[in-house]
Amino acid sequence: MNAAQKNTFDAPSPSLSAGLGALLRRDLLLAYRHRGEIANPLVFFLMVITMIPLGISPESAVLGSLAPGMLWVVALLATLLSLDSLFRSDYDDGSLEQILISPHPLYLIVLVKVFVHWLVTGLPLALLSPVLGVMLYLPEAGYLPLFLSLLMGTGVLSLVGAIGAALTVALRKGGLLLSLIIMPLYVPVLIFGASVVRSAIEGFPIAGELAVLGAFLAMAVVLAPMAAAGALRISVNG
């Protein structure tokens, strides 16, 4: 082998931004191609909230007091519904193996995938929530806090959910297990998220509770992709 031949194999180190950009583009494109499936959690959110006045009571006093908790619980369940697909299709068609052997940090790759997941589920849920708040007679003071708390809260839900999705991706029927793993971790987010809205309605300052949600988010951004990356390696190894 002479020097000229050797040079052809001096592969340039792949650029991290190009790699993550390609993944982001691909996942967004896939989300767009599967937009029917992507809309599922949103439709679920819409349907459940529409049913509540029919099933419980159409009275504004009753609905108004239920609204903060209801909106939060249903948004949480809608996110949970969508989690299973986070790594599933990549696992099934072998793309996940390719992702794992790419020379990029898995932490950032998971972060990109979770970001896309949040962009197509969490963000639309947060944007839609004030409209559904109107349907449930949510007092006016609650709209902005509801939106803000869901904006941050759904981020935490997606990030923490990614750990469960990564742990169960190799199991044929991981759906129930995923819920069992993730539900306890969702409880604090639900408590603080719903209480932000309730405090705002009752006229208390909400900065403190929002800050707690923000702290959850910061912690989840730092820790959850790491756990999910480890779980993915275990799932693919097995």
Partner 1 sequence: MTHPNAPTPLLELRALSCERDERCLFAGLHMTVEAGDIVQIAGANGSGKTSLIRLLTGLSQDYQGDILWQGELLSHRRLDYLNHLLYLGHLPGVKKALSPRENLAWFGGMSHGHPQIKVDQALSQVGLKGFEDVPCYSLSAGQLRRVALARLYLTPARIWILDEPFTAIDKQGAERLEALLSEHAAGGGVVILTTHQALNITGVKQINLSDFQVDESYYQARDGFIGEGSL
- Is the Cβ of residue 80 or residue 99 nearer to partner 1 in the bound state? 99
- Is the Cβ of residue 170 or residue 181 nearer to partner 1 in the bound state? 170
- Is the Cβ of residue 40 or residue 65 nearer to partner 1 in the bound state? 40
Please state the three-class secondary structure of 65-108 as a single string: HHHHHHHHHHHHHHHHHHHCHHHHHHHHHCHHHHHHCCCCCHHH
Provide the minimum distance between the beta carbon of 28 and partner 1 in the complex, in angstroms, as a whole number: 11
What is the DSSP track for the chain? --HHHHHTT-PPPPPHHHHHHHHHHHHHHHHHHTHHHHTHHHHHHHHHHHHHHHHT---HHHHHHHHHHHHHHHHHHHHHHHHTHHHHHHHHHTHHHHHHTSSS-HHHHHHHHHHHHIIIIIHHHHHHHHHHHHHTT--GGGHHHHHHHHHHHHHHHHHHHHHHHHHHTTSTT-HHHHHHHHHHHHHHHHHHHHHHHHHHHHT---HHHHHHHHHHHHHHHHHHHHHHHHHHHHHHH-
- Is the Cβ of residue 88 or residue 214 nearer to partner 1 in the bound state? 88
- Is the Cβ of residue 134 or residue 233 nearer to partner 1 in the bound state? 233
Q: Note the residues at the interface with partner 1 (CB under 8 A).
A: 1, 5-6, 8-9, 11-15, 18-19, 21-23, 25-26, 29-30, 33-34, 89, 92-95, 97-104, 236-237
Provide the minimum distance between the beta carbon of 79 and partner 1 in the complex, in angstroms, as a whole number: 22
- Is the Cβ of residue 22 or residue 144 nearer to partner 1 in the bound state? 22
Provide the minimum distance between the beta carbon of 29 and partner 1 in the complex, in angstroms, as a whole number: 7
- Is the Cβ of residue 21 or residue 58 nearer to partner 1 in the bound state? 21
Provide the minimum distance between the beta carbon of 69 and partner 1 in the complex, in angstroms, as a whole number: 37
Provide the minimum distance between the beta carbon of 157 and partner 1 in the complex, in angstroms, as a whole number: 25
Provide the minimum distance between the beta carbon of 37 and partner 1 in the complex, in angstroms, as a whole number: 10
Q: Is 114 exposed, middle or buried (0-12, 13-18, 19+ CB in 10 A)?
A: buried
Provide the minimum distance between the beta carbon of 235 and partner 1 in the complex, in angstroms, as a whole number: 11
